[in-house]
Chains A and B, each alone.
Chain A
Amino acid sequence: QVQLVQSGAEVKKPGSSVKVSCKASGGTFSSYAISWVRQAPGQGLEWMGGIIPFFGTANYAQKFQGRVTVTADESTSTAYMELRSLKSEDTAVYFCARGALEAGRLTWFDPWGQGTLVTVSS
């Protein structure tokens, strides 16, 4: 049974960066994709980007291109999401989720990490 455990809550200043980790246990880390999804207070889910550890290739939503980097360390079964140039609107809960692949295409997300609250405030 795969489990994803994320790093703890962060408080950041506008203009700074945050790096959230997501450690997987109980499965084969490299055979799935890891995606990052965020949820601002009272808002819906928003896919930010993801990576297939086996290939090391990452893809990003257009909205976050150039501001987010997703990486994975197969040796520790840990994925990372770094978001730069933080704004108050980036205040949200950030989830990692394991993504299943069908012919190289993301199909569904399960399980999810517990979420990491990132607060951006001066």
Chain B
Amino acid sequence: QSALTQPASVSGSPGQSITISCTGTSSDVGSYNLVSWYQQHPGKVPKLMIYEVTKRPSGVSNRFSGSKSGNTASLTISGLQAEDEADYYCCSYAASSIVIFGGGTKLTVL
């Protein structure tokens, strides 16, 4: 049950698009369309941004989108804004009612 692999940091300028990858295995990300993404600002509670790979909860900007190919899921943020600067975590179901988080990615808006 190792953590999903995410880049430690990514950065982009306002208005640009960035993509954060989340690599698992054929036992978790690769087997289930049950990947979710969370945004966490410093000292705050995590916020659900994407669920079931591509779905966006009500109230989340359509600048956020998700996808998956094989054992790797991705979160794309388009039209970067200063308020997007935060930590992002992916999460996947991994069989036997177990869930695994990624190590987290710090997004810096330059």
* Co-complex (A, B): yes
> How many residues belonging to A are interface residues under a CB distance threshold of 8 Å?
27
Q: Is B100 an interface residue (CB 8 A)?
A: yes
Q: Given A61-B1, A95-B45, answer yes or no on A107-B34 (Cβ-Cβ < 8 Å).
A: yes
Residues of B near A114 (CB, < 8 A) are 45
B46 touches A102 (CB 8 A): no
Q: Given A105-B34, A114-B45, answer yes or no on A46-B101 (Cβ-Cβ < 8 Å).
A: yes
- Cα-based distance from A110 to B46 in the complex (angstroms): 9
Q: Is A59 an interface residue (CB 8 A)?
A: yes
B96 touches A109 (CB 8 A): no
- CB of A65, distance to nearest CB on chain B (Å): 10
Q: Mark B1-39, 1 if CB is under 8 A from A, else 0.
A: 101000000000000000000000000000010101010
Residues of B near A44 (CB, < 8 A) are 3, 87, 89, 101-104
Q: Is B64 an interface residue (CB 8 A)?
A: no
B97 touches A108 (CB 8 A): no
A106 touches B57 (CB 8 A): no
A108 touches B101 (CB 8 A): no
A108 touches B48 (CB 8 A): yes
- Cα-based distance from A63 to B99 in the complex (angstroms): 12
A interface vs B, CB < 8 Å?
35, 37, 44-47, 50, 59, 61-63, 95, 97, 99-100, 102, 104-110, 112-115
Please give 14 more A-B residue pairs, beta carbons under 8 A apart, in addition to A99-B99, A108-B36: A44-B102, A44-B104, A47-B91, A47-B101, A61-B1, A61-B98, A97-B46, A105-B34, A106-B34, A106-B97, A107-B34, A107-B52, A109-B38, A110-B51
